Copies of this chain bind each other. A is one copy, B any other.
Amino acid sequence: MATADPARPGFALPLLLLAGFRTLIDDLHAELAREGHPELRPLHGFVLQAVGADGTTATELGQRLGISKQAAGKTVDRLVAVGYLERVDDPTDARRRLVRVTPRGADGLHRSAEIFDRLRERWVETLGPKRVAAMEDDLHTVASANWFRLDVPGWFGG
């Protein structure tokens, strides 16, 4: 292994990426809790995002998130229980039950976007705009294939 630099071991890179992700998500949810959304969990924000403004169905949501329709249905159940999603019958197809973001869910989604912008701005203040942009561009170069794959608990845990 003539290429490996002992001062920069390869195993540090994934831990740093995970730590960066975790820092942003933890800060987001600390702020969300302050702004009236303490029940939102990391996974929930991404699910709300995947449902989108037009609504969707459990089966389609599962396809978007890369999980089974059953798992998507169970996750929707939980978000319905805390008031972020609602189910309505599809008048054009009695098999389908449309999943829609409630006003409360839309509020959480809107605040999340604002908070993420503020958090990025904090990184820019610390690291400089060029370094943050470089990080984004470089990650996009090496990891674009895994954009928006959010089956994290099952993927990571096994």
Give A contacts to B, CB under 8 Å: 1, 3-4, 8-26, 28, 41-44, 49, 112-121, 123, 126-127, 131-136, 138-149, 152-153, 155-158
Contacts of A1 in B (CB 8 A): 114, 117-118
Pair B41/A116 contact, Cβ less than 8 Å: no
CA–CA, A111 and B156, complex, Å: 19
Q: Choose among B22, B28, B155 the residue that contacts A146 (Cβ–Cβ < 8 A).
A: B22
CA–CA, A17 and B123, complex, Å: 13
Contacts of A26 in B (CB 8 A): 146
CA–CA, A115 and B120, complex, Å: 31
Give the number of times this chain occurs in the complex, counting copies.
2
Pair B113/A10 contact, Cβ less than 8 Å: yes
Interface of A is mostly: helix
CA–CA, A152 and B144, complex, Å: 22
Closest chain-B Cβ to A66's Cβ sits at a distance in Å of 11
**Interface-centre pick from A13, A23, A118, A134 (highest chain B CB count, 10 A):** A13
Contacts of A134 in B (CB 8 A): 131, 134-135
CA–CA, A12 and B112, complex, Å: 12
CA–CA, A131 and B132, complex, Å: 11
Closest chain-B Cβ to A99's Cβ sits at a distance in Å of 19
Pair B126/A141 contact, Cβ less than 8 Å: yes
CA–CA, A85 and B3, complex, Å: 31
Pair B143/A19 contact, Cβ less than 8 Å: yes
Please give me the 4 A-B residue pairs with the lowest Cβ-Cβ distance, nearest first: A10-B116, A41-B158, A10-B120, A153-B157
